[in-house]
Structures are given as structure tokens and as C-alpha cells.
Amino acid sequence: MTNITMFRKLISDYDSLAYTHHYIFGFAADGVIYAAIALNDVLPYVCTLDRASRGQGYSLRFKPTKAQKNFLKTCDLFPLCSADFFADEVKTSKYNAGEIFEKMVTEHFGQVWEKDNVPFTEGGDIEIDGIAYQIKFEKATFTNEKTLKKLREGR
């Protein structure tokens, strides 16, 4: 299977199992942390194919290049905070950058954030106006081959 075929398969399989098809993508650009609201049709344009660790096959990741960040800037975009403030929050927290971004987005929408581990097949990370959203920050993994295989086999 070629890399492009694998990439398309991972996106298709992920999308077919996902609870929601709405996303909030976070990224740093020009000293600012941005949040871009988008639908699943952007996945082929903002995701990359990567190798998963420990024999899990390929993975689908959000590691935006400058061009992909520029693409996301054409979506429903808002600045969340400065990159310096974000870095300080991550440095002084027990949470990673993705969790801090999720917390900040949740609080931006006037909600209280709680860390959870809801699978992507069962819920989103936040609900806004009755719509569930997955929240992803730079370097986030969507899924990998092994996880998708288990889900398709019902395990």
C-alpha cells in the first residue's frame, strides 16, 4: 500500500468511527496561539501520515507545516493567547500542551474544563451550542493502524 493510500485509509477509517466531525485545531504562528474551527473535510489538508510507536503501524497526526497553518487561518479562526503565555502555562502545569490548549479553549467558551479520556468514538472534547468538537493541538495524534483495527473488529 502506498503512503498516500494509507493516508487516505486512515482518514476514512477514523472519520467513519468518529463521534463528531467538528474540530478545533490549535497552533502557534507569529507569536500567537490560534484556534481554528473546521469540519472533517479539512483533515486531508492538515494531517500527516507518520509512523506510530511500538509496532502500532502508521499514525494520523496533526503536525501542521507553515502552509497548513496558513490554510487553517482561512477557517473560522480566533486568537487564544500569546505563544509566550501559553508556553508559561505549559511549563508550570502538570498537563501537556494539548491538555492546556483544550483547557484554554473550554474556558474561552465559558465552560469548566476537566481532564478526561473519552474515546473519539464516544464523544468530543467540548460541546458548543449542542455540537461536539474534537480539540487538537500541534503534534497531536488522531489514531493509528492498530487502534483502528481493534475498533473495526469490535475489541
Rounded to two decimals, the pTM is 0.95
3-state secondary structure of 90: helix
> Are 143 and 12 a contacting pair, CB within 8 Å?
no
Q: What pLDDT does 54 receive?
A: 82
pLDDT in tens, 130-146: 999 999 999 999 999 99
Q: What's the first-to-final CA gap in the chain, in angstroms?
A: 25
Q: What pLDDT does 96 receive?
A: 97
- Going by pLDDT thresholds of 50, 70 and 90, the confidence category of residue 123 is very high
Q: Where are the beta strands (DSSP E) in the chain?
A: 22-29, 32-39, 48-51, 58-62, 76-82, 126-128, 131-137, 140-144
Indicate the domain borders of the chain: 3-145
- Going by pLDDT thresholds of 50, 70 and 90, the confidence category of residue 147 is very high
- Name the one residue in this structure whose C-alpha cell is 489538508: 45
Average pLDDT, integer, range 148-155:
85
User: Rounded mean pLDDT of the chain?
Assistant: 95
Average pLDDT, integer, range 11-24:
97
pLDDT in tens, 54-106: 888 999 999 999 999 999 999 999 999 999 999 999 999 999 999 999 999 99
pLDDT of 12 strictly over 90: yes
pLDDT of 115 strictly over 90: yes
- Going by pLDDT thresholds of 50, 70 and 90, the confidence category of residue 154 is confident
- Name the one residue in this structure whose C-alpha cell is 474515546: 119
